[in-house]
Amino acid sequence: MSLRVVSSFILVLCINSQPESAIHLGNETDRLALLAFKSLITSDPIRVLSSWNNSLHFCNWQGVTCSYRHQRITALNLTSKSLVGSISPHVANLTFLRAIDLSNNSFHGTIPRDIGRLFRLKVLSLSENSLQGEIPSNLTGLSDLRIFDLVYNELVGRFPNDLDSFTKLVRLGLSVNNLSGRISPSLGNLSSLTHLSLARNGIEGSIPHELGRIAGLQFLQLSGNKLSGTIPPSLYNLSSIYFFSVADNQLHGSLPPDLGLSLPNLRMLYTGANRFTGHIPISITNASGLTELYFTDNDFTGPAPTDLGNLKGLVRLGLGGNRLESDDLSLLTSLNNCSGLIVLGIGANIMKGRLPSSIANLSTQLEILSIAANQISGTIPPGIENLVSLTALDMNRCLLTDTIPPSIGKLRKLQYLDLSRNGFTGRIPPSIGNITQMLKLYLEVNHLSGSIPSSLGNYQSLQILHLYQNKLDGSIPKEVVSLSSLSISFNLAGNSLTGPLPVEVGSMKNLPELDISENRLSGEIPVSLGECVSLERLYMQGNFFQGGVPSTFNNLKGIGELDLSRNNLSGRIPSYLEKLNGLKYLNLSFNNLDGEVPSGGIFRNGSAISVLGNSKLCGGITTLQLPACPITTSKKKRRSHVIRIVIPVISVVSFIILAFCLFAALHFIRKKPESEKSSDDQFLMVSYAELLKATDGFSSANLIGTGSYGSVFKGILDRDEKVVAVKVLNLQQRGASKSFIAECEALRNIRHRNLVKILTSCSSIDFKGNDFKALVFEFMPNGSLEEWLHPKADGPHQLRNLSFVQRLNIAIDVASALDYLHQGSQQPIAHRDLKPSNVLLDEDMNVHVGDFGLARFLTKTSNSSSQNQSNTVVIKGSIGYVAPEYGMGGEASTHGYVYSYGILVLEMFRGKRPSDDMFKDGLSLHTFAKMALPKHVMEIADPSLLSETGEEQGATTSLGNSRNARSKMHDCLVSVVRIGIACSAESSRERMEMRDVVMEMFAIRDVFLGLRFQRKTKIKKVK
């Protein structure tokens, strides 16, 4: 026998004898690998791995599949078994594995790199877990892989660029991770791919046109990334595609007119939340198999498609958030043909016309219906109760009128109902309380009247109840305030509700926001309100509550905003408010509180609290400018004994000393030179020489402003190195001396944080023997509002702009100063020259209104509560800011300077002076702003404000953020302009009170910052 034959015989023996021992060894390896896998499972609630024990062969263990011949494990399928733990690297010892499916569990940790050794693997599905880390690079060695699914994990790292090595891949899913980078064009080489899912990562860049080479692609999901550019035309050639989603990206461009013809097999199309423009393709109805169609939140224009009813299999349709137009709403009628329709949204478009009665004939399977934010008029039609499956009905911000039909109470599955901001009248139908599954109910900003139905207390799951800004009256039903389920917001503000706040209010222990402001509620604040321990925002202002602030408010540890202003509260301010560390805003103004204001906690921040209008308060921080508190009775008693002993001893000595001091003082005053006499006893004197030195000889380099009666210089006083502003009067100008006296007289009688503070004055003679008068003020580092609104080319603010919220803050500060001058000081004062150059800004951009040279004290008349008049008819001021009645000899009043404020506000947000060249031929800043309301208000706004919305040229912010910012700014700007118009009304009787202006401006700012909900502005009707 030859050597070759012997060798072949031995080889055959080896081959025939090897399998049995190898298989036995392999079986044991597989069993041990499974046990190692089981050892890292920390939770198995349904005991799926209980069969993994020695009583059964491992091929009979649940989730395990073995090959028939060799009894080796070929598949491990434990999907949706609620398992918790990490994936053991020993799974790589299952070398015959062709499929691993561990999806929909709670596996954590990383994907073991060892899996890359399973060269037979065809299916790897680890989706819907909590896996982290990067995708192992060696997985690309799995050349036989058909399905690779890692969706819904927390994987990080850049998008793998070598996925094209999976040449046989049919399904690739990497959605809902934190992958970044770009989509590799090489994915176009995966010619076998049918499913590609990359949604909700951080992938950037454009969509590669190479994806259009995957001819058999049926499922494409790219939504929720940062993709930009346009959709490559090559993708419209994928005729086999049935699922196409690119929603929530930054894509732009238009969709092709023949879209429905190019993709005939399309079933689901999602393009929402992008920047697409143009018309919605009419050809879309040719894709007759469409079941889900979303074009929401883009910039599509033109007519809304009226023949979408031809898509009889349509289940979900979203057209909201575009600029689609319709005059007859025939679209809604056509959709009567879609008997399986579940979701329909056409909100936030430009659709007009009366709401058709055919809406009641929509699918009885309809669950969500939104027509909100359109110009749809009419009434809610009879038959609305036919939509028995509705869970959400949104009709807010339309033009609907008449009453809310009682039949709406038959929609028993409703969980979300929004009929707010319409023109509904009549009563709230009690039947609405029959919808016991209600979660959120919005009926605010209508004309609803009558009482609040007690049937609303039937809601056991209600989270939000908004009834504010209606005409509701009567008392608050105790059944409603007993709803412990309220956990987001309860708002009844701006109605005419009366009676006490029911003690049952303490049941709302999970409520973060309660607003019952601007009603006619009375009685004491119930102590049970302190049981609402989750309260973060509590607004009770504008009522008739009396008594003290309840001691139980000490339990409101999470309270951040508390407004009890404009009530009849009395007693002391509770000291426990100092210890509420989360409190950021506290308004106790215009009550009857007395005693000492605390000085700790929030009371250290003068801008976060308000105690105006409480004449009996004292103490507190200096910025509140309250009088010092007198010595208390207890302290007097402790000292009385000592006083009775000491007085007899020192009385004679005191009298002698006092007499001597008086004599010396009188002698000193007679000898005192004229150059050192002060015009105002309140201030320490400063000499001409000191001011000359402080300003470097009144150098032009230190000149910071000029006015009608003098010039203002920057200076540094030697006595304390303090930077000051020195206003030097030009006594050659007629009226300058009178202005000096008026300003001194005004400033000695007023104290407010938003008024300029005078430090000292000088009435002397200069070195040439001429009369010299000057006032010394605190220096304002940020100059005047004039310099910010209209910066000079070489000025300090030419490259800086005031933000929207900064302008709101300035408007609030100026309004607060005027309100104090008109109402808060001992005698009303008219500033008479309010304009941007007299609005000064400190280092923190806080306002200090200055220049009281034209100020006048007003005498309160007994026959008018609306005007404070003086007997003077000599009115001065600056052109454009002076009220029109003064040109006709009208008397000075606080309302005249409300007009100046209104013009100032319009100038701040328009960016144009009232004297600008554009305002001529009867067009004024007031009428210009009035014509722009409400639709064109953003068009007339100061262009620099648009940068905050991402709308300026070259903006790179996302559409969603830009749109939300622009919408919020638009709404707030409309409210601000309305205030400016109302304040600058031609008739003084139509102008707002400054007290109301302050409150409304605060509310607008809070809405803009997201601190509060939008509320109706109390503005007299603009005719």
Report residue 748 as tokens.
Answer: 């000695």
Coil, helix or strand at residue 742: helix
Amino acid at 94: L
Nearest-angstrom CA–CA distance, 166 and 146: 8
> Is the preceding omega at residue 934 within 30 degrees of 0, hence cis?
yes
8 Å CB contact between 193 and 212: no
Nearest-angstrom CA–CA distance, 830 and 687: 31
The catalytically annotated residue of 101, 418, 515, 833 is 833
* Ordered alpha helix ranges (H), 40-148: none
DSSP label at residue 303: B
Distances (CA, A) of 810 to 206, 726, 789: 44, 24, 12
Nearest-angstrom CA–CA distance, 518 and 566: 9
Distances (CA, A) of 603 to 575, 585, 609, 620, 767: 10, 10, 7, 7, 49
Q: Is the dihedral of CA 273, 276, 277, 279 positive or negative?
A: negative
In this structure, the dihedral spanned by the alpha carbons of residues 671, 677, 683 and 685, taken in order and rounded to 10 degrees, is -90
Does the annotation count 114 as an active-site position? no
Report residue 814 as tokens.
Answer: 């100026």
8 Å CB contact between 738 and 709: no
DSSP string of 439-486, one letter each residue: -EEE--SSEEEEPPPGGGGG-SS--EEE--SSEEEEPPPTTTTT-TT-
Phi, psi (5° rounding) for residue 616? Answer: -100, 5
Nearest-angstrom CA–CA distance, 982 and 938: 19
DSSP string of 531-554, one letter each residue: G-TT-SEEE--SSEEEEPPPGGGG
Q: How many CB atoms lie within 10 A of CB 556?
A: 24
To which H or E segment does residue 64 belong? strand 64-66
- For the chain, the first-to-last Cα distance in angstroms comes to 121
Residue carrying structure tokens 């030859």: 2
Report residue 171 as tokens.
Answer: 């399904």
Nearest to 870 by CA among 880, 856, 882, 883: 856
Residue carrying structure tokens 């909900």: 1013
Residue carrying structure tokens 């503000």: 493
Q: Between vectors from CA 757 to CA 756 and to CA 759, what angle results, nearest 5°?
A: 140
Nearest to 913 by CA among 923, 901, 925: 925
Give the bridge partners for 764, in sequence order.
772
Nearest to 321 by CA among 293, 357, 347: 347
8 Å CB contact between 87 and 107: yes
Nearest to 828 by CA among 725, 746, 900: 746
The beta strand positions in 335-451, using DSSP E, are 343-345, 350-354, 368-370, 375-378, 392-394, 399-403, 416-418, 423-427, 440-442, 447-450
Coil, helix or strand at residue 739: helix
Q: Between vectors from CA 986 to CA 982 and to CA 992, what angle results, nearest 5°?
A: 30
The catalytic site residues sit at 833
